[in-house]
Structure 1
Amino acid sequence: MSMAALPGGATGGTRGGFGPRWAVSGLFFANGLMIGSWAPKVPVLMQRLQISEAEAGLLVLVLGLGSVTMMPIFGAIIARRGSAGPLRRAAVLAAPTLLLMSLMPGIWSVGLAVFLFGGFVGGMDVAMNANAVAVERARRRAIMSSCHGFWSLGAMAGAAAGGILLAGLGERGHALLVTLAVGGLLWLLLPRVLVDAPHPEAAPAPLRLPRSPLPYLIGLLALCSMIPEGAIIDWAAVYLRRDLGASIWVSGFGFAACAGTMALMRFVGDSIRQRLGARQTLRLGAVVGALGLAMAALAPAPGWAILGFGLAGLGISNLVPIAFSAAGNLPGIAPGIGMSVATTLGYCGILVAPGLIGFVAEHVAFSAIFLGLAVLILSSLILSGLARHADFDHGGD
């Protein structure tokens, strides 16, 4: 493997032109594939374990707690050692956890497996976002939105195929197939990630929480869009089945539609961001996302709800990439630390809040919940000025 020197002391493996930019993009795809495969699994776990929405909400909450526990730990390691090593470890540890939860017989053992799934997928998420920021800096060109586009492609593939595979192969067969697919991707991609360890003469980054309010406010900005995204991941299938009478294979297309439109928009998001600026891109996305969620909430049939979830994905597609890119480029704050703070707060929305929604759904219709989430997306407009930190001059390739 040849090594190509990159700006800032970073290096990345290349083989036949397959370099760090595509390696980190592929890892976003693998991470999304695991999360997307989890989405249609929730109603299957509810049926196998004979649990209610509130108990399923506890499992989703445990997933979120696993992520929130591991994200700051990985962020601190990244600040000291760079993102490549932590990214490789988290990815390898995350790969078998979906199969593990399918093999566990009871709710407590499944809960432990879900905690590990959330923890290592979350740690991988922090590391690959930090690695994407390092690639952006090395190339002097935005790639974050398209990286998240690959995540959405993976999530769409996992969610769309999940219902069909669960119906045809069963829970364990589905999990085994996903694990093998992820393992193959990791074998191909992990040797090629950008090595962004600090220069040996550089002072180690302090491993304390930053005093500046900026990463916390950017995390709150991410939270406003990630709560709705998490709700769609974990509850769109249940909403389509329970409230709108969709079949098990149709139910997986709620999140698949969202992930698909997110992917499409994210692949053009970098160019839109460069043309309109991060702030204007974020504001337009928030409005469109809110309209899509409102449409899903008021839908009279599964098809209309799926269309609404697709419109919501179109709107919220670039909100999180802009927030994370801003968090990784804050002045005076190590990228790993700024990223871990923002991602931990943001992923409370995608991982912890949906668990609480399970308890609310015991007493409130999902239509009312999704309407409330539309209002939450609009509230991100208050913090949209923070997106300026995601704007920088891009030159070169």
Structure 2
Amino acid sequence: MKSLRLILSNPRYFAPAWAFASLNILFGTWAIYIPQVKGDLGIDKASLGLALFFLSLGNFTIFPLASKIINTIGVGKATWYGVLLISATAILPFLAPNYYVLLGGLFFYGAANGFLDISMNTLVTEIEKEDRQNFMSASHGFFSLGGVLAGLGSFMIIFLDNPVLHIVLAIILVLGVNAFFYKNYIHIVSPPLEKEPFKLKNFRPLLLIGIVSFLIMGSEGAIVDWSGIFLQEISNAPVALIGSGFLAFSVTMTLGRFLGDSISAKIGSVKIVGSGALVAIMGYFMVLTTNTYLAIIGFAFVGLGFSAIVPELFRIGGNIKGVKTSQGVAFIAGTGISGFLLGPVILGYLAEASSLKLSFMTLLACCIAVFLATFFLRKKR
């Protein structure tokens, strides 16, 4: 909790942390309205899955270009421009008059998300190096906090009954706070990044960890995109509670990320991955009861279980004997991004071919696989 106190007491650290929150405030607001957008455009689950793929595709496409742009204009300016880009593009999916315009809007919004994601993580890394202060984990906690704020905003649906007005209000909140604090980081410039190509011989020891990263990030992306539709169509939740699954997931994800470092120090990385998977398994069983309130509690358990797993995978991957830290982390990031990109799409096609309940049973199976994998990770360690 030391890093959280640091962020809340010093605008130099709060400013980049709020950029993390901003990303998820806008993305979370979009996630809340996915069921309504699906209904308004009259598209099926498979088509929705493809649309969500375009959002992830935009995110993935910007990766090769982002580092060069950041090094050219400076990481501080890149982060501020990233905030402006997500604010400009977040409204596009809400204005789409048809399915094809929705695909284009989601692609550009995804690209803006990816650019800010890389910029703000690079910014925090540079500040940590300059100040010798660690606040990366807490910054990711602020990302989850943004999801909490978006989830709380879901209760405005009853009063606003206007998705465009809702996202505009979210954009005003994001821009207003960032405009006040961005001067604390806009001057920061990062040195050129050194590229260390991944060697094929290092693939073997990282393979298992990469698979775990793929499954967890894929499940996380699926929860964000499909939890509202699950509550609406499977649990028959009232309109006011459709966003509650995402809210519960985000709240416990936030708490877990703020507390994860201290727990990890006590029980170790592999145990925290196993424990997190076990908690998520319990959560999925509650979700699959299809009872609205049990499902919401289940999403909370899944968020708590997932919260510390990905940071610990980076920690394990960066400490494998004979593998440079940057190479291990890069591999884990690549497999995780691939899972986040493909997870919601696969879930959409499964839901269309069979049922959304089967899709969530598949997510449960993924968590069980992760839990079993930790026994092999202990042997590798």
Q: Normalised by the size of structure 1, how large is the TM-score?
A: 0.81
The whole-number CA distance in structure 2 between the counterparts of 1:47 and 1:144 is 39
Change beyond 3 A, Cα 1:271–1:96: same
The whole-number CA distance in structure 2 between the counterparts of 1:196 and 1:283 is 39
Moved more, 134-143 or 274-283: 134-143
Asked if 2 retains the 8 angstrom alpha-carbon contact of 1:126 and 1:343, the reply is no
The aligned amino acid for 2:278 is: V
Asked if 1 retains the 8 angstrom alpha-carbon contact of 2:34 and 2:225, the reply is yes
- What is the deviation of 1:378? 3.7
Residue 226 of structure 2 corresponds to residue 235 of structure 1: yes
Greater RCO structure (CA 8 Å; 6+ sep): 1
Residue 185 of structure 2 corresponds to residue 197 of structure 1: no
CA RMSD of aligned residues (A): 3.2
- What is the deviation of 1:139? 5.4
Deviations along 1:27-46, one digit per CA (max 9) or x if unpaired, are 11111112211211111111
5 Å-filtered alignment, 1:122-141, equals 122-138=114-130
Match of 2:15 in 1: 23
Match of 1:289 in 2: 280
The aligned amino acid for 1:122 is: G
The whole-number CA distance in structure 2 between the counterparts of 1:95 and 1:384 is 44
Deviations along 1:231-285, one digit per CA (max 9) or x if unpaired, are 1111111111111111222110011111111111211112222333333222211
Asked if 1 retains the 8 angstrom alpha-carbon contact of 2:281 and 2:367, the reply is yes
Residue 139 of structure 2 corresponds to residue 151 of structure 1: no
The aligned amino acid for 2:97 is: P
Residue 357 of structure 2 corresponds to residue 364 of structure 1: no
Match of 1:49 in 2: 41
Aligned mate of 2:156, from 164, 188, 196: 164
What's the secondary structure of 1:96's corresponding residue?
Answer: helix
Change beyond 3 A, Cα 1:24–1:386: farther
Aligned residues with identical type, % of pairs: 28
Change beyond 3 A, Cα 1:36–1:121: same
Match of 1:210 in 2: 198
Change beyond 3 A, Cα 1:287–1:172: same
The whole-number CA distance in structure 1 between the counterparts of 2:317 and 2:237 is 40
Aligned residues: 366
Match of 1:248 in 2: 239
Moved more, 255-264 or 363-372: 363-372
Asked if 1 retains the 8 angstrom alpha-carbon contact of 2:126 and 2:190, the reply is no
5 Å-filtered alignment, 1:370-381, equals 370-381=360-371
The aligned amino acid for 1:320 is: V
Q: Of Structure 1 and Structure 2, which has the larger fraction of its residues in helix?
A: 2
Residue 318 of structure 2 corresponds to residue 321 of structure 1: no
- What is the deviation of 1:311? 0.5
Asked if 2 retains the 8 angstrom alpha-carbon contact of 1:67 and 1:123, the reply is yes
Q: Normalised by the size of structure 2, how large is the TM-score?
A: 0.84
The aligned amino acid for 1:162 is: S
The whole-number CA distance in structure 1 between the counterparts of 2:76 and 2:285 is 40
Deviations along 1:259-317, one digit per CA (max 9) or x if unpaired, are 111111211112222333333222211221122122212x2411010010101111111
Q: Which runs of 5+ in 1 are unaligned?
A: 1-13, 199-203, 388-397
Q: Which runs of 5+ in 2 are unaligned?
A: 1-6
Asked if 2 retains the 8 angstrom alpha-carbon contact of 1:72 and 1:340, the reply is no
Match of 1:65 in 2: 57
Change beyond 3 A, Cα 1:225–1:384: farther
The whole-number CA distance in structure 1 between the counterparts of 2:359 and 2:324 is 37
Change beyond 3 A, Cα 1:292–1:75: farther
The whole-number CA distance in structure 2 between the counterparts of 1:149 and 1:177 is 23
The whole-number CA distance in structure 1 between the counterparts of 2:79 and 2:247 is 26
- What is the deviation of 1:348? 2.8
Residue 250 of structure 2 corresponds to residue 259 of structure 1: yes
The whole-number CA distance in structure 1 between the counterparts of 2:206 and 2:63 is 14
Match of 1:117 in 2: 109
Moved more, 62-71 or 125-134: 125-134
Asked if 2 retains the 8 angstrom alpha-carbon contact of 1:258 and 1:311, the reply is yes
- What is the deviation of 1:56? 1.1
Moved more, 181-190 or 357-366: 181-190
